[in-house]
Chain A
Amino acid sequence: MIPALSIENLFKEYASGFQALKGISLEVKHGDFFALLGPNGAGKSTTIGIICSLVAKTGGKVVVYGTDIDEDFAGAKKNIGIVPQEFNFNMFEQAFDIVVNQAGYYGMSRELAVQRAEQYLRELGLWEKRNVPSRMLSGGMKRRLLIARALVHNPRLLILDEPTAGVDIEMRRSMWDFLKKLNEQGTTIILTTHYLEEAEALCRNIAIINHGEIVENSSMRDLLRRVQREVFIFDTVDELPEVVTVGGFEVRRVDDRTLEIEVEKGQHINEVFAGLNQANIRISSMRNRANRLEEMFVRLVEGAA
């Protein structure tokens, strides 16, 4: 099957001489939910900008569903929907007009545009606000409006650049559900986010970009399997003694009722509980200090630095 997106040896050098991208290559399969992660300034938004024509590349090849952007950019653009990081709509226009106009730019008849705008505004809970100038919408509503606008021409590839930035937990969860459903219906999704638990929860494949280079490109499962070390936090029922030892594990006493224990790859959490039982320490709750993807992300990004 034709990949949704194929990038080969992509370069971007600005007039100042700064190299934002140093020959990155990656492929996103049709139907994938793909995470493109990296620290600030790594080159994620530059890559996205090139794919959707807001940034001019200085070298390399980008093919969207078999269409090379150098040969038929208009054809490639028909397959792409973009949800940018910043709110980039006219704040004086009404939500409904923003979505309908976007459909018009893709050549969709007014009748179909109105129909699709209603469909997506309803699905994203914005229908009641359709006649409100976009500046009057809350931050979460503006984010959802960006998604409705990006979907109005039914793109096969949806690119989301930090879609849940500044959105409350409840709204974020509902956006996750919406995106999952969209992906299940066949839309390929590329997601950039700084919320790594979001990428872990949604994405099947992942690329990590740092200093304009891909430092990791694999499936989420393989990447997480490679996590060498996890740190767990244990809350205890009773007050802890001054010195705590749990056989074979590195233990840190955080306070009177909190312990941090490192579990290396190959060790098992059961052994931790066995050691805690042996030391007569009763546990009321436990959690990861950071999620596994975050641990891996930090290791990869710091390793490449």
Chain B
Amino acid sequence: MSLQEQWVALMTILRKEIKRYLRIWTQTLLPSAITMSLYFVIFGSLIGSRIGEMGGFTYMQFVVPGLIMMAIVTNSYSNVVSSFFGSKFNHSVEELLVSPTPNYIILLGYVIGGVSRGLLVAVIVTVVAMFFTDLHMHSFTVVVAIVLMTSILFALAGFINAVYANNFDDISIIPTFVLTPLIYLGGVFYSMDLLPDFWAAVSKLNPLVYVVNAFRYGVLGVSDVSLSVAFGMIGVFTAMAWFYSMHLLNTGKRLRQ
């Protein structure tokens, strides 16, 4: 396929993906807005007002970056896992597999689709957050870079989950039993300084710690981890997830007989 044909194929996948999640916006966009509003009300306003400052900021200001990042992570992931598994389940993935579209375009199409949903939900959540607190941006570059890298990483993770999933239960196991605990223990609601040394060290094995802290640095200018380490870790995880996803597509594992 020529580069122009590949571009057409990529745009086709992307258009289809965006159309899919917009068509079912009550399942894809609205829940995050409602959930995050509840977090803002309960943890930010009600409980947060009794907690006081954390990391030099009001508790509401402290949790907002983590909650936005939580929305990005879960939406990028769940968009790709549900869409790709759905197409595997109803065999419509065969439309792509029999076509000359290169595997990297297929992967890129689904990943960009997931990223776009992650970003759209991030905008919605940010707008909702602005009703509860003043948001300032410490570093626009860091915010954009970390949002893009994180959404790409979790879109890829969703893709891997979708390839391995055999039924609809399998696409909710990872988000429920792995992703959610990692997010909650990734410093969304607390600073690492509050943890005993041992647990603070253990937390550093959690990739979400780097994601949340790097984003918090971009918004508030404070972080529990070094920014370069955070970018390095996310970059390595993203590269690993990309190459593994390509390996799955190239070998046709769970996709071709």
Quick check: B98 and A101 within 8 Å, CB to CB?
no
Residue A239 interfacial (CB < 8 Å): no
Taken together as a complex, chains A and B put the C-alpha atoms of A54 and B9 apart, in Å, by 19
Taken together as a complex, chains A and B put the C-alpha atoms of A90 and B23 apart, in Å, by 14
Please encode chain B, from 162 to 188, with 1 for each CB lying within 8 Å of some chain A CB and 0 for all others.
000000000000000000000000000
Quick check: B8 and A90 within 8 Å, CB to CB?
no
Q: Chain B contacts of A92 at CB under 8 A?
A: 23
Quick check: B257 and A74 within 8 Å, CB to CB?
no
Residue A217 interfacial (CB < 8 Å): no
Residue A77 interfacial (CB < 8 Å): yes
Please encode chain B, from 42 to 58, with 1 for each CB lying within 8 Å of some chain A CB and 0 for all others.
00000000000000000
Quick check: A89 and B9 within 8 Å, CB to CB?
no
Taken together as a complex, chains A and B put the C-alpha atoms of A188 and B108 apart, in Å, by 34
- CB proximity to A under 8 Å, residues B177-231: none
Q: Chain B contacts of A104 at CB under 8 A?
A: 8-9, 11-13, 15
Taken together as a complex, chains A and B put the C-alpha atoms of A16 and B97 apart, in Å, by 24
Contact of A77 (CB < 8 Å), options: B6, B87, B99:
B99
Min CB distance A109 to B, Å, is: 6
Stretch at the interface among B26-34, B70-78, B88-96, B110-118: B88-96
Quick check: B8 and A53 within 8 Å, CB to CB?
no
Taken together as a complex, chains A and B put the C-alpha atoms of A14 and B11 apart, in Å, by 36
Min CB distance A208 to B, Å, is: 23
Quick check: B257 and A109 within 8 Å, CB to CB?
no
Q: Chain B contacts of A89 at CB under 8 A?
A: 90, 92, 95
Taken together as a complex, chains A and B put the C-alpha atoms of A105 and B11 apart, in Å, by 9
Quick check: A90 and B92 within 8 Å, CB to CB?
yes
Taken together as a complex, chains A and B put the C-alpha atoms of A49 and B97 apart, in Å, by 11
Taken together as a complex, chains A and B put the C-alpha atoms of A84 and B100 apart, in Å, by 17
Min CB distance B138 to A, Å, is: 41
Quick check: A88 and B99 within 8 Å, CB to CB?
no
Residue B141 interfacial (CB < 8 Å): no
Quick check: A106 and B100 within 8 Å, CB to CB?
yes
Min CB distance B242 to A, Å, is: 21
Taken together as a complex, chains A and B put the C-alpha atoms of A93 and B95 apart, in Å, by 13
Q: Chain B contacts of A105 at CB under 8 A?
A: 9, 12-13, 95-96, 99-101
Quick check: A49 and B95 within 8 Å, CB to CB?
no
Quick check: A88 and B5 within 8 Å, CB to CB?
no
- CB proximity to B under 8 Å, residues A110-148: 110
Q: Chain B contacts of A171 at CB under 8 A?
A: none
Residue A6 interfacial (CB < 8 Å): no
Q: Chain A contacts of B101 at CB under 8 A?
A: 105-107
Residue B235 interfacial (CB < 8 Å): no
Taken together as a complex, chains A and B put the C-alpha atoms of A56 and B251 apart, in Å, by 9
Residue A80 interfacial (CB < 8 Å): yes
A-B contact pairs, 29 of them (CB 8 A): A14-B257, A53-B98, A55-B256, A56-B252, A74-B1, A77-B100, A80-B98, A84-B94, A88-B95, A89-B90, A90-B90, A91-B90, A92-B23, A97-B16, A98-B95, A102-B95, A104-B13, A105-B12, A105-B96, A105-B99, A105-B100, A106-B5, A106-B9, A107-B2, A107-B6, A107-B101, A108-B8, A110-B8, A149-B95
Apart from A93-B16, A104-B13, A107-B5: 8 A-B pairs, beta carbons within 8 A: A54-B257, A78-B100, A88-B91, A88-B95, A105-B95, A105-B99, A107-B4, A107-B8
